[in-house]
Chains A and B, each alone.
Chain A
Amino acid sequence: MKKTKADPKGVLTGAHYLDGDYAIAEGGLAAGCRFFAGYPITPSTETAERFVERIPYVGGVFIQMEDELASITALIGAAWAGKKAMTVTSGPGFSLMMENLGLACMMEVPLVIANVQRGGPSTGLPTYVGQQDMMQAKWGSHGDYEIIALSPDSPQECFDLTVDAFNLSETYRVPVLLMTDECVGHMYEKVVIPPADEIEVVERKWYDGPKDEYLPYKPDEDLVPFMIKAGDGYRFHTTGLTHDERGYPVINAECQNVCVPHLVEKIRQNADKIIRFEEEETDGADVVVVSYGITSRVAIPAVQKAREVGIKVGTLRLITVWPFPEKRIKELAGKIKAFVVPEINYGQVVYEVERCAYGQAPAIHVPHCGGWVHDPEDIFKAIKGAVK
């Protein structure tokens, strides 16, 4: 992995008062994204608006496509042309992107998609918060693959994690999802953008060996194949079909059982390097509140209140939601009485916690179907109920 410093052209160094959507655009520009294809959808559009306003001064392309199918597909093309590329969307658009999210995984193309989640299903609550696409992020496209998804809890993290999303994407040749939500997306807070030379940017894993020996899908030691770009004379082929190391379609079970495990294992075997979470006071805790995004902030008043009444509560905030910190959840499950999992949906990540707890501790869900964040009182009640 080759690290460089951010190109100062794209970095708006300084302290700003920005909303999460704008911060995502700034994160992309800072990370070196110079191609944005998108389709307007509430509550994510401000990211596109910011990008298109800034890009003429930075040098790059913004194009408003005819739909989200086209947006993500154009990203894949641009990535093959050598660009860092991103788009932003919300529920309905995210659903449309699922088709070619699969293509990006299959072709092993780095790109970043931010999903500013709103209430669903269908058109749902366009202008209000939801965290209902978390499982879609994991499983949304057909077939087996692994993905990386991050969840920022503030405009500052929208900036920071967008940079990280690009870095992870380039490191693992995989699409990375920034799963934020309407609340964080539309919330203004202070965002500090460091000087360009303090922002680390991962360069694509370019191949530089002899041209006739290049194999676009031959895994390197870290399982990630080297990449080249269109127009460099490699005359390579890539396809959404099951393929061999040359990138040629091979339509049989044998090839499928090499191709698919590769897509999955390059993430699973690097999971420890990818996974990030924040823990507080989990040592000796009876209850651990697992949350992510805006809900992890709303849960804190509940945790504080529970501690005031003498309950030993720890917190685990997921920064990467996918891959999931399976090992840590398993360890904690052996030591605590219960997990409490508030999320703005009717039960998604809670089932992953439950799975990883292996029956050692229950995972208690605090549901909210969207439109608003939790009342901390509801989370408090769940914590209290968990130690009864």
Chain B
Amino acid sequence: MDIRFSGFGGQGIIKCGLITGKALSLFDGKNATLTQSIGPEARGSACSSQLVISSDRVLYPYIVAPEVLVCMSQESYERYEPDLRDGGLLLVDEDLVRNAKPRGKTKMYSIPATRIAEELGNKIVMNLVMLGFFTAITEVVSTGAMKKALPGLVPSRSLELNEEAFDRGYEFGREALAGSEKSEEALV
């Protein structure tokens, strides 16, 4: 399974990859290889981190067409969405990515992650809101593992806030799933 987290510098995009990768490889018994886009192309504008997840050893370390794409900026959406695998999942912050829509068999879920983080009192935890949402929608990683991965990767003084942000995103994701299942049933 290939996953890409994307957005702009300073949003904690690399952290998203680190937390998820650490959760999977240290606590969920999976192999997760994280690479990141660094260098000139990562300065200022679009920034991304990539995870390759496998129950066997990861051989090819990069991703080509991810199954999951998380977008936290307009630019990253425009840049990376065309690579999303057909049938893949697109997760966006609905306030930061406008006009996002599914294409072909891709499925899209959106969340006002920044707004939720602001409600919690600090915009900076929007990446944790997004991670909670991601965990709920994709089910590739357990919530327990994600929580265990946080110490050391978020400042200890704001650990609780980060956990809360994760929970809020997770709940939002569960509801969104329930909602979409209903609408799918309705379609059937």
Chain A residues within an 8 Å CB radius of B11:
none
Q: Report if A200 contacts B (CB, 8 A).
A: no
Q: Are A189 and B32 in contact (CB under 8 A)?
A: yes
What number of B residues sit within 8 Å (CB to CB) of A? 22
Q: Which residue of A lies closest to B17 (CB)?
A: A188
Segment of B57-65, B80-88, B130-138, B159-167 engaged in the interface with chain A: B57-65
Q: Are A188 and B39 in contact (CB under 8 A)?
A: no
Q: Which residue of B lies closest to A298 (CB)?
A: B60
Q: Report if A301 contacts B (CB, 8 A).
A: yes
Q: Are A297 and B61 in contact (CB under 8 A)?
A: yes
Q: Report if A206 contacts B (CB, 8 A).
A: no
Q: Which residue of A lies closest to B19 (CB)?
A: A17
Q: Report if A187 contacts B (CB, 8 A).
A: yes
Q: Are A373 and B21 in contact (CB under 8 A)?
A: no
Bound form: Cα–Cα A297–B149 in Å: 27
Q: Report if B106 contacts A (CB, 8 A).
A: no
B154 to chain A, nearest CB (A): 14
Q: Which residue of B lies closest to A183 (CB)?
A: B61
Q: Which of B128-180 contact A (CB under 8 A)?
A: 149
Q: Which of A175-193 contact B (CB under 8 A)?
A: 183, 186-190
Query: Within the complex, which residue of A15, A127, A188 is in contact with B38, where a contact is CB–CB below 8 Å?
Result: A127
Q: Which residue of B lies closest to A15 (CB)?
A: B26
Chain A residues within an 8 Å CB radius of B26:
15-17, 190
Q: Which of A310-348 contact B (CB under 8 A)?
A: none
Q: Which of A285-322 contact B (CB under 8 A)?
A: 294, 297-298, 300-301
Query: Within the complex, which residue of B38, B40, B58, B62 is in contact with A189, where a contact is CB–CB below 8 Å?
Result: B58
List 7 additional A-B contacts (Cβ < 8 Å) besides A294-B61, A297-B59: A42-B39, A188-B17, A189-B32, A297-B57, A297-B60, A372-B62, A373-B62
Binding site for A on B (CB under 8 A): 17-18, 21-22, 25-26, 31-36, 38-40, 57-62, 149
